[in-house]
Structure 1
Amino acid sequence: MSDYHPVFEMTMPIRWGDMDAFGHVNNTVYFRYMEQVRISWFEHLGVAAESGDGQGPVIVNASMEFLKQLHYPGDIICTMTVGQPGRSSFDTGFELRRADEPDTLYARGNARCVWIDYAAGKSVPIPDMLRATIEHAGLVKSDRVG
């Protein structure tokens, strides 16, 4: 992720219900963690999932590399990064660590966000405020969610 820069970090609890029958956090939950950090970043910026003019982000692809199993209980630190934006899209990265093992990477993922006009179902240019934030933002650390 050398072309990416960190923009948002938050801590979340691992919930009992995040685990599956094998006793570790289910793979699908990692995508929910990635979703939550992305949504919290948008909220921090004041960008709603749908702006007043009927535009907003959609995810067109997402991937996750599972490096180490997570287990309840504990807290996770989720760090979001962004790449340089295109006309209507930008790539996000995600790294997940346990708060009690901050030097150990448990998972990393990516998702491409495309800004669309919801009614038209077509991509539109990323709003100037969001573009400037993506291009110039530093890391923001948020309070624990949970």
Structure 2
Amino acid sequence: MSEPHAPDGDARMLWTDDVLRYRDTDANGHVNNAVFAAFCESGRVQFFRTQFGGGVQPPGTFFVVARFAIDYRAELHYPGRVRTATWIARLGRTSITLRNRILFEDRIAGEAEAVCVLLAQDTRRPVDLGAAAREAAGRFLIETP
């Protein structure tokens, strides 16, 4: 995964907030690595619900995560809050690549990338994003090298 270069104040980023829970910690005393994936899931779900609801994606379709990768930058410790930024890094014919940046106390704790493929409910095969989804996605596209 290449380095995301999106500036944190960019209006094309959607921000979600999560509270660290005691149960998120592991035997090493820090927040378990799997919890980072949950923060990204929160951002991804919120992104699709708020930006792709209301008939933007073709009827009878849904997104699935085809690939997911996380780069861990810093430990997290309970208690606290994290903010997760979500934006579109690439648009494919049948897919959208989302990037996440997880912030804890104004420092980057993790960065992730998810390739989300649009599938038809009936065939379970990839389908074209369509004009409406491309137009909506374009508002959140921050291309990275």
Same fold? TM cut 0.5: yes
Out of 20, 37, 46, which is 1:40 matched to? 46
In the alignment, structure 1 residue 118 sits paired with structure 2 residue 118:
no
CA distance in 1 between counterparts of 2:138 and 2:29 reads 40
Q: Is the 8 A contact 1:79 1:96 kept in 2?
A: yes
Q: Is the 8 A contact 2:89 2:141 kept in 1?
A: no
Out of 9, 18, 22, which is 1:12 matched to? 18
Q: Is the 8 A contact 1:84 1:134 kept in 2?
A: no
Give the number of aligned pairs.
Answer: 134
**Percent of paired sites with the same residue:** 22
Shift, 1:2, TM fit:
4.2
**TM-score (norm. length: structure 1):** 0.81
Unaligned runs of 5+ in 1: 140-146
Q: Is the 8 A contact 2:66 2:114 kept in 1?
A: yes
- SS of residue matched to 1:106: strand
Deviations 1:105-137 (A, max 9, x none): 110010101001122010001143322121123
Alignment correspondent of 2:134: 131
Unaligned runs of 5+ in 2: none
CA distance in 1 between counterparts of 2:27 and 2:130 reads 43
What letter matches 2:133 in structure 1? L
Q: Is the 8 A contact 1:12 1:75 kept in 2?
A: yes
Bigger proportion of residues as strand: 1
CA distance in 2 between counterparts of 1:29 and 1:134 reads 27
Alignment correspondent of 2:79: 73
Deviations 1:73-110 (A, max 9, x none): 11101001212311111111110111xx21x1110010
- Relative to structure 1, the CA distance from residue 113 to residue 23 in structure 2 (aligned partners, 3 Å threshold; closer, same or farther) is same
What letter matches 2:42 in structure 1? Q
What letter matches 2:62 in structure 1? G
CA distance in 2 between counterparts of 1:65 and 1:88 reads 25
Q: Is the 8 A contact 2:90 2:141 kept in 1?
A: no
